[in-house]
């Protein structure tokens, strides 16, 4: 290839979060260093300004206020039918506009996409034959979701062998690469120099807490755990001014070892000066930390794709996922005291570069995907789309549909498929005095218990070691969805105020179904209690109902249930282990 600059590469991104744009900039930088002519354009904006506005504003709002809805969408699109439906809709509605506004004008020799919905539209153009240039999708997250894979895309570039396995399973052609990062991270100052430059203690254990450009996730919870563990904690709130203000009001005054920052331009220096990164599994931030050898701890990841990313990162040996505040605080405290040494991320063995992966397209060494002319007949998938909607509604509201959904959509619902011989014990309380009595009895019995409370019952709770807390759904006879959701949010606020921790679980009433995911408060996971036979305990989530009982009667019922569990030879385990 005589002249790389003669080959024009168009990189399409989206401003949904900061990661897709950051990935696009890093890709362009590496291609330009290799001599290629690379430009960046906002592909989602070109497809539809309205869609762009909805996704940018909607995604941010969902993560902050309705994270459970993200998990529902993630679950639906994890299924092949769901992912295919979204791809067909994106291609049918927006592919032509993307072609007219960007591709036909720029006439690129290669198109690279960093955003899945843009990739879907490009795949449709490749399939129809309207786009002759090869299409490459770059995926910066370790956890590759099926929606991010387009069978009509020529190549998917991923960050690890585990990621490649997920991509291949979803039907995509993939290659793991050493993902490019911004050049500044290759020239970060040494640790001592960085600490002096930033005014950080030279000898302290420094924990860097990050929530991405938008400052999303449980940043406050991560910061509190790090500070309580004794680490000097640097919190980056990004461009989330509201989060920065809350941290300055709630965290900074209580701890001398906390520094709160807003948007920063010196992230390479901050990473060089730190002993670990704590965050919610964002793609590009983790890749930057991996490149610098900075240990990564993940806590309370975004439901859905954040959890998948966390699981895959841990499997790949590049991060550790701490599932509870107690686990995170204890792990950091051991590191601060020097009792343990945090492992640096494990590097994949000699992966190829992005440049090496795309060069064959200009040398005609790769065969493009098979192109097909667009058919005027309506796609069968569009014909079946209404059936998919009907199926989804059934899954959402029918109790039998919930069982199918947890299996088909790979939902993780504690209690749905319990191990033999194991019981997670829970108590539902509505009376404050009964709630206090249950806490006392649980400590006396020395068994792990999850207490589910409504707003009234939460007022009798207090912080307790070995006890987890959850929100009890409204058990009234008549159910109004928006009112139920508001009641659940109010109960979550009361539980947090009483115990100092956010409730981890949500106990729907009267049954667990996909609709319950919409009612669950932020950062809480719906659970599925077991249906006991003739009142005898069996493996699964066993809920002790104390409604209408006085404190002594509630204690007695819990004690009797514990005896019955032990009498059946069952083992009590924390709900998180079920």
Report the pLDDT value the prediction gives residue 409, as an integer from 0 to 100.
Answer: 47
Both tokens assigned to 191: 């640790």
* pLDDT above 50 (res 431): yes
Instruction: Give CA–CA dist 451/527, Å, rounded.
Output: 13
* pLDDT above 60 (res 80): yes
What's phi and psi for 466, nearest 5 deg?
Answer: 85, 0
Tally Cβ neighbours within 10 Å of residue 49.
10
Report the pLDDT value the prediction gives residue 9, as an integer from 0 to 100.
Answer: 94
**Can you give the length of the chain in residues?**
578
Report the pLDDT value the prediction gives residue 396, as an integer from 0 to 100.
Answer: 47
Q: What topology is assigned to 4-180+354-362 in CATH?
A: Rossmann fold (3.40.50)
Q: Which of 291-300, 515-524, 540-549 has the highest mean pLDDT?
A: 291-300
Report the pLDDT value the prediction gives residue 401, as an integer from 0 to 100.
Answer: 46
Nearest to 216 by CA among 427, 440, 59, 324: 59
What's phi and psi for 210, nearest 5 deg?
Answer: -135, 140
CB 215 within 8 A of CB 237: yes
* pLDDT above 80 (res 367): no
* pLDDT above 70 (res 399): no
* pLDDT above 90 (res 352): no
DSSP string of 458-527?
HTT----TTEEEEEEPP--SS--HHHHHHHHHHHHHHHHHHHSS---EEE-SS---THHHHHSPTT-EE-
Report the pLDDT value the prediction gives residue 398, as an integer from 0 to 100.
Answer: 44
- Total-model pTM: 0.65
Q: Where residue 481 falls among pLDDT bands split at 50, 70, 90?
A: low
Q: Where residue 482 falls among pLDDT bands split at 50, 70, 90?
A: low
* pLDDT above 60 (res 418): yes
Q: Where residue 383 falls among pLDDT bands split at 50, 70, 90?
A: very low
DSSP string of 136-154?
EEE--SSS--GGG--TTSS
CB 8 within 8 A of CB 108: yes
What's phi and psi for 378, nearest 5 deg?
Answer: -65, 135
Report the pLDDT value the prediction gives residue 520, as an integer from 0 to 100.
Answer: 77
Question: Over the stretch 336-348, which tens digit does the pLDDT of each residue have?
Answer: 999 999 999 987 7
Report the pLDDT value the prediction gives residue 200, as an integer from 0 to 100.
Answer: 94
Instruction: Give CA–CA dist 541/417, Å, rounded.
Output: 10
Question: Over the stretch 150-169, which tens digit does the pLDDT of each residue have?
Answer: 999 999 999 999 999 999 98
Report the pLDDT value the prediction gives residue 103, as an integer from 0 to 100.
Answer: 92
Q: Where residue 449 falls among pLDDT bands split at 50, 70, 90?
A: very high
SS3 422: strand
CB 277 within 8 A of CB 289: yes
SS3 19: helix
Q: Which of 7-21, 50-64, 261-275, 467-481 has the highest mean pLDDT?
A: 261-275
CB 24 within 8 A of CB 13: yes
Q: Where residue 365 falls among pLDDT bands split at 50, 70, 90?
A: very low
Least confident of 41-45, 193-197, 347-351, 552-556: 347-351
Report the pLDDT value the prediction gives residue 62, as an integer from 0 to 100.
Answer: 58
SS3 291: helix
Round the average pLDDT of the chain to a whole number and report it: 82
Q: Where residue 510 falls among pLDDT bands split at 50, 70, 90?
A: low
Nearest to 233 by CA among 323, 320, 336, 319: 336
SS3 81: helix
Over residues 397-411, mean pLDDT:
47
Q: Give CA angle at 199 (213, 243), nearest 5°.
A: 30
Over residues 396-402, mean pLDDT:
45
Least confident of 18-32, 193-207, 377-391: 377-391
Between 203 and 70, the higher pLDDT residue: 203
Would you state the torsion angle of the CA atoms of residues 119, 123, 129, 132, taken in this order, to the nearest 10 degrees? 40
CATH 3.40.50.150 assigned to 422-577 = no
Instruction: Give CA–CA dist 391/400, Å, rounded.
Output: 12
Both tokens assigned to 63: 């993560």
The residue assigned the tokens 């919930």 is 402
Per-state percent for the chain, helix, strand, coil, to nearest 5: 50, 15, 35
Residue 462 class from Cβ within 10 Å (0-12 exposed, 13-18 middle, 19+ buried)?
exposed
DSSP string of 181-219?
--GGGGGPPPHHHHHHHHT--SSS-EEEEE-TTTT-SSH
Over residues 509-535, mean pLDDT:
66
Over residues 374-393, mean pLDDT:
46
Between 178 and 52, the higher pLDDT residue: 178
Instruction: Give CA–CA dist 403/405, Å, rounded.
Output: 5
Percent of the chain clearing pLDDT 70 (strictly above): 83
Instruction: Give CA–CA dist 438/452, Å, rounded.
Output: 11
Report the pLDDT value the prediction gives residue 107, as an integer from 0 to 100.
Answer: 87
Q: Which of 413-427, 507-521, 559-573 has the highest mean pLDDT?
A: 559-573
Residue 61's contacts (CB-CB under 8 Å, 6 or more residues apart) are none
Least confident of 183-187, 507-511, 558-562, 568-572: 507-511
Both tokens assigned to 107: 């006439």
Tally Cβ neighbours within 10 Å of residue 349.
6
Question: Over the stretch 223-269, which tens digit does the pLDDT of each residue have?
Answer: 999 999 999 999 998 888 888 888 988 888 888 899 999 888 899 99
Residue 529's contacts (CB-CB under 8 Å, 6 or more residues apart) are 415, 426, 507, 512, 540, 541, 542, 543
Instruction: Give CA–CA dist 301/412, Å, rounded.
Output: 14
How do the domains of the chain map onto residue ranges?
4-180+354-362, 187-336, 422-577
Rg (Cα) of the chain, in Å, rounded? 26
Both tokens assigned to 419: 């191990």
Report the pLDDT value the prediction gives residue 397, as an integer from 0 to 100.
Answer: 44
CATH 1.10.1530.10 assigned to 187-336 = no
Q: Which of 138-142, 525-529, 566-570 has the highest mean pLDDT?
A: 138-142
The sign of the torsion formed by the CA atoms of 308, 314, 315, 318 equals positive
CB 99 within 8 A of CB 75: no
Domains 4-180+354-362 and 187-336 share a fold: yes
Tally Cβ neighbours within 10 Å of residue 316.
19
Question: Over the stretch 104-150, which tens digit does the pLDDT of each residue have?
Answer: 888 899 999 999 999 999 999 999 999 999 999 999 999 998 889 99
């Amino acid at each position: 290839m005589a002249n790389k600059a003669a080959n024009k590469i168009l990189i399409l991104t989206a401003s949904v979060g900061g990661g897709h744009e950051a990935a696009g900039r890093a890709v362009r930088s590496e291609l330009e260093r290799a001599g290629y002519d690379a430009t960046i354009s906002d592909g989602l904006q070109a497809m539809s300004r309205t869609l762009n506005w909805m996704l940018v504003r909607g995604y941010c709002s969902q993560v902050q206020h309705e994270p459970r809805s993200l998990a529902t969408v993630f679950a639906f699109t994890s299924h092949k039918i769901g992912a295919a439906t979204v791809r067909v809709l994106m291609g049918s509605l927006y592919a032509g506009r993307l072609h007219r506004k960007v591709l036909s004008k720029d006439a690129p020799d290669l198109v690279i996409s960093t955003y899945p919905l843009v990739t879907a539209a490009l795949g449709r153009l490749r399939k129809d034959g309207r786009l002759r240039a090869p299409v490459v999708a770059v995926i910066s997250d370790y956890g590759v979701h099926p929606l991010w894979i387009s069978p009509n895309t020529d190549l998917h570039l991923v960050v690890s062998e585990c990621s490649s396995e997920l991509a291949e399973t979803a039907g995509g052609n993939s290659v793991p690469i050493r993902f490019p990062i911004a050049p500044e991270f290759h020239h970060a100052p040494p640790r001592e120099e960085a600490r002096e430059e930033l005014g950080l203690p030279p000898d302290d254990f420094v924990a860097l807490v990050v929530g991405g450009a938008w400052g999303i996730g449980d940043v406050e919870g991560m910061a509190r755990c790090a500070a309580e563990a004794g680490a000097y904690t640097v919190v980056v709130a990004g461009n989330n001014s509201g989060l920065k203000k809350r941290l300055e009001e709630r965290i900074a005054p209580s701890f001398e070892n906390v520094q709160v920052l807003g948007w920063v331009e010196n992230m390479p220096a901050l990473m060089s000066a730190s002993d670990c990164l704590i965050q919610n599994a964002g793609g590009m931030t983790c890749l930057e930390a991996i490149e610098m050898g900075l240990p990564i701890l993940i806590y309370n990841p975004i439901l859905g794709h954040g959890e998948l990313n966390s699981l895959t990162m841990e499997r790949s040996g590049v991060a550790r996922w701490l599932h509870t505040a107690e686990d995170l605080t204890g792990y950091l405290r051991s590191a601060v005291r020097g009792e343990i040494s945090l492992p640096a991320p494990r590097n994949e063995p000699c992966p190829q570069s992005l440049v090496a992966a795309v060069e064959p397209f200009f040398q005609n060494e790769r065969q493009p995907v098979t192109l097909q002319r667009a058919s005027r007949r309506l796609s069968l998938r569009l014909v079946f789309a209404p059936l998919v909607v009907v199926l989804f509604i059934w899954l959402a509201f029918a109790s039998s549909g919930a069982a199918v959904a947890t299996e088909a959509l790979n939902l993780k619902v504690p209690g749905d498929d319990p191990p033999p011989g194991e019981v997670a014990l829970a108590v539902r309380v509505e009376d404050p005095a009964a709630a206090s009595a249950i806490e006392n009895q649980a400590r006396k019995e020395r068994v792990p218990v999850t207490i589910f409370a409504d707003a009234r019952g939460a007022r009798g709770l207090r912080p307790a070691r070995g006890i987890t807390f959850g929100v009890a759904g409204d058990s009234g006879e008549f159910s109004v969805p928006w009112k139920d959701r508001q009641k659940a949010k109010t109960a979550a606020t009361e539980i947090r105020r009483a115990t100092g921790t956010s409730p981890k679980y949500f106990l729907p009433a009267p049954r667990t179904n996909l609709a319950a995911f919409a009612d669950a408060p932020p950062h809480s996971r719906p659970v599925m209690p077991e249906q006991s036979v003739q009142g005898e305990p069996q493996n699964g989530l066993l809920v002790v109902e104390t409604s209408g009982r006085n404190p002594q009667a509630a204690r007695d019922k819990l004690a009797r249930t514990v005896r019955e569990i032990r009498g059946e030879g069952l083992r009590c385990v924390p709900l998180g282990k079920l």
